[in-house]
Amino acid sequence: MASKEEIESRIKEQRTAEANKKGLMGQGGKIGLVLRMLGSPIVGQVEDAAFLDLEGRIEDPSGNPIMDIPVADLDGVNRPYGSEWGGIAESVPVSTRTIGMHFDGLSRSMHLEIIYKDEESELSVHHRGRLVYREVQGDLVCYVPADEWEDWVSSLFKTAKKMHRDSKEDEFKEKVKEARDSKESWLRHIAARWGIK
């Protein structure tokens, strides 16, 4: 009789084969393309850890506790102003970076959420709030096949594929234009330098 691990390993192999056959796996698969073309970036903030250390900073003998509250400074943008912010402590530099991608299908009447986390290289799909697909560094960890969410992904994939094709065509046209402009610029340079027409 097979052990629990062997049974789960066989199921995983079958589900991986099924997901590959349906074109779901990887960043180049249906789910990955839908996320890239229809999703939005997840943006995280990188800041000094002392920024969050508020202990002992809120007490101000003048009775104005707001002066010691740290303020995030995104390159000087959106800094608070006004008389009540006049004596505020120095701002803490904060920068942002993309940490993943997110697609929410509710705006398309689909209770479907797709998330990619860069740090973990994790791609996951939630259908009606339940995890139905999860891939970590190209390894399938969870796959619960169901017609509804897979049909939604296939439908979204058609839209994403058309958008991808259009963006590739635009990119190609731009490269052709750049090459033509570069050639014309070079010809003008040669004509000006050597008097050739």
Tell me whether residue 70 is in a domain: no
| Domain membership flag for residue 22 | yes
Residue with tokens 């943006």: 43
User: Is residue 66 domain-resident?
Assistant: no
Domains: count for the chain = 1
Identify which of 67, 64, 24, 41 has the alpha carbon closest to the alpha carbon of residue 153: 24
What does the pLDDT look like over 83-133, one tens digit per residue? 665 555 556 666 788 899 999 999 999 999 999 999 999 999 999 999 999
Interval 8-47: pLDDT, tens: 999 999 999 999 999 999 888 999 999 999 999 999 876 6
Residue 164, domain member (yes or no): yes
172 lies in some domain: yes
pLDDT tops 90 at residue 190 = no
- Domain assignment present for residue 55? The answer is no
Question: For 38-76, what is each residue's pLDDT tens digit?
Answer: 999 999 876 655 545 555 555 555 555 555 555 566 555
The H or E element spanning position 74 is none
Instruction: Tell me the residue range of the domain where 125 lies.
Output: 4-47+94-194
CA-wise closest residue to 133 among 25, 3, 2: 25
- Cα-to-chain-centroid distance, residue 50: 27
